[in-house]
Each structure stands twice: as C-alpha cells, then as structure tokens.
C-alpha cells in the first residue's frame, strides 16, 4: 500500500470513528461532515470512472470498493483505457 493510500485510509477511519464518539465537541461534528463529503466525492468518482473500472482486469466490484475507500489513489494505479 502506498503512503498516500495509508494516509487516506487513516484519515477516513478517523472520520468514521467520529460517529461512535458521544461528544458534542465541534471537532467530531466536523469529522462527520468531512466523512460524508469524502464519501460523496468518491461515489461521484466511481460513477464517472465506471467504464474504466469495468475495462480494468479484475473484479469490477473490487475496483468500486477500492475507489470508495481510496478514491483517486486507486484510479491512478489502474491501467489506462484504450
């Protein structure tokens, strides 16, 4: 796993963990909003790049899951569509 993927996964896990903290602190609310924004951005990335994901070798569902987690960092590792 690349350092960028590891950092992104760590941040996403931290933002997701904010849902399980019973606190009214503003930081946790901000992390929850950031989580939903990242999830929405990755869903748009997955929809836009679906033809490329289908053409890539391997499981399309696996590629979709990786895009939902890693976003553009996974897309950069895929071979270019011809």
- What average pLDDT does range 51-76 have in this prediction? 87
Question: Residue 1 pLDDT > 80, yes or no?
Answer: no
Q: Which helix (H) or strand (E) holds 70?
A: helix 60-70
**How far is the C-alpha of 29 from the C-alpha of 22, rounded, in Å?**
10
Total count of residues recorded for the chain: 82
Question: Residue 67 pLDDT > 80, yes or no?
Answer: yes
Distance between start and end Cα atoms, the chain = 26
Burial class (CB in 10 A: 0-12, 13-18, 19+), 26: exposed
- Amino acid 81: pLDDT: 62
Question: Residue 24 pLDDT > 80, yes or no?
Answer: no
């Amino acid at each position: 796993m690349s350092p960028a993927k590891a950092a992104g996964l760590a941040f996403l896990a931290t933002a997701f963990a904010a849902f399980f903290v019973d606190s009214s602190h503003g930081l946790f609310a901000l992390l929850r909003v950031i989580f939903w924004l990242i999830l929405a951005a990755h869903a748009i990335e997955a929809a836009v790049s679906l033809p490329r994901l289908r053409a890539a070798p391997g499981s399309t569902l696996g590629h979709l899951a990786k895009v939902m987690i890693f976003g553009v960092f996974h897309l950069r590792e895929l071979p270019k569509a011809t």
